[in-house]
Structure 1
C-alpha cells in the first residue's frame, strides 16, 4: 500500500462527506413538505460517499495512477501556448457566459438546448454527420430535465421572451 496523491484526495473527500453529513443535521426543518428537509442533501452525500469509496479503493489498488495518461509534451510557451492548452475550458466558459447572457431572451428550455448543442459540437470531433446526433442529445436531455423540473417538481424556470408557456 502506497500513500500517493490519489489516496490523500480520496481520504479528504471521505472526511468532507462525514463533515457535511454531520452538518446536514443543522438544516432547518420545514413543516410544509411531505418529507424531511435533510433527505435530498443526504442522498447526494450518499452518492458522493460511494464515489469517494470507489476512488479510494482504486487508489489503494494502484489503478488510479497506472491508468493515468502521460504528462503532455511541452509546447510553445507564451499567451498563444496558454490559450492552446486551455482551449476547451475557455470555450466552455465562453459558451456558458453566452448561455447566461441570453437566458432572459431565450429562456431555460431553448437556451439550454442551444448551449448543450453548441458544447457538443464545439468540443467534439468536427463532423457534419454528428450534428443531428448532437441535436437529438441536446433536445432529449434538456427537454427531459425541463419537464422533470417544470411538471414533476413544479419549479418555475426562466421562460424568456421568445417562448412563453403561460
Structure 2
C-alpha cells in the first residue's frame, strides 16, 4: 500500500473537522422568532463540505501526486507556488476589515471583484466579467439572505 500523501491526510483532517462541527450544531440555541431552525444552514453547509471533502479524499487516494525525492524548496519558490491562495487570504482579511464600514453588500462585491482581478486576467473584457460575476453572485446571495430568509446583514457605519 502507498504511503499517505499530504492531500489524503488533509482530507481526513477536514472530514474530522466537519464531523466535529456537525456535532456542535446539536448545541445551537433555538431562536423563538425564527421561521426555520437555527441549525439548518450550518448543517446544510457542513453536509456540502463533507461531500466535497469526500470527493477530495477519493481523488487523493486514486491519483496521488508524484513524489519528488530530496527536493528542498526556497521560501520564494513556496510563496510563488501558493501566490493565488495567499492573495485570496489577504483579500479576505481586507474584506473583514472593511465590512464594518462599507457593509456586507458593498464590501462583498468589492472583495469578489478585486480578488478575481488580482488572481485573474486584467483586460477590459475580463474586468467586465469580474464585475458582472461580483454583482450577480454577491448581490444575489445578499438578496436571498436579506429578503428571502430575513437575515439582518451588516449595513456599514458609513451608510447609517
Say yes or no: TM over 0.5: yes
Looking at structure 2, the residues matched to 57 and 83 of structure 1 have their Cα atoms a distance apart, in angstroms, of 28
Alpha-carbon shift at residue 144 of structure 1 (Å): 0.7
Unaligned runs of 5+ residues in structure 2 are none
Q: Does 1:4 pair with 2:4?
A: yes
Gaps of 5+ in 1: none
Q: CA deviation at 1:123?
A: 1.1
Partner Cα separation in structure 1 for residue 147 and residue 159 of structure 2: 17
1:95-126: CA deviation from partner (whole Å, max 9, x where unpaired): 34443444344332222222221111121123
Aligned length: 157
Which whole-Å deviations, capped at 9, do the CAs of 1:83-106 have from their partners, x for residues lacking one?
655543444344344434443443
Following the alignment from structure 2 to structure 1, what is the Cα–Cα distance between the partners of residues 128 and 67?
Answer: 34
TM-score normalized with structure 2 length: 0.70
Rg larger in structure:
1
1:103 matched to 2:99: yes
Q: Relative to 1, partners in 2 of residues 1:69 and 1:132: Cα closer, same or farther, differing over 3 Å? A: farther
Q: Residues of 2 paired with 1:137 and 1:17: CA distance? A: 29
Q: Calculate the aligned-residue CA RMSD, in Å.
A: 3.4
* Structure 1 segment 44-63 matched on structure 2, within 5 A: 44-60=45-61, 62-63=62-63
CA offset digits 1:68-90 (Å, max 9, x no partner): 4887x988x57x76765554344
In the other structure, the counterpart of 2:123 is 127
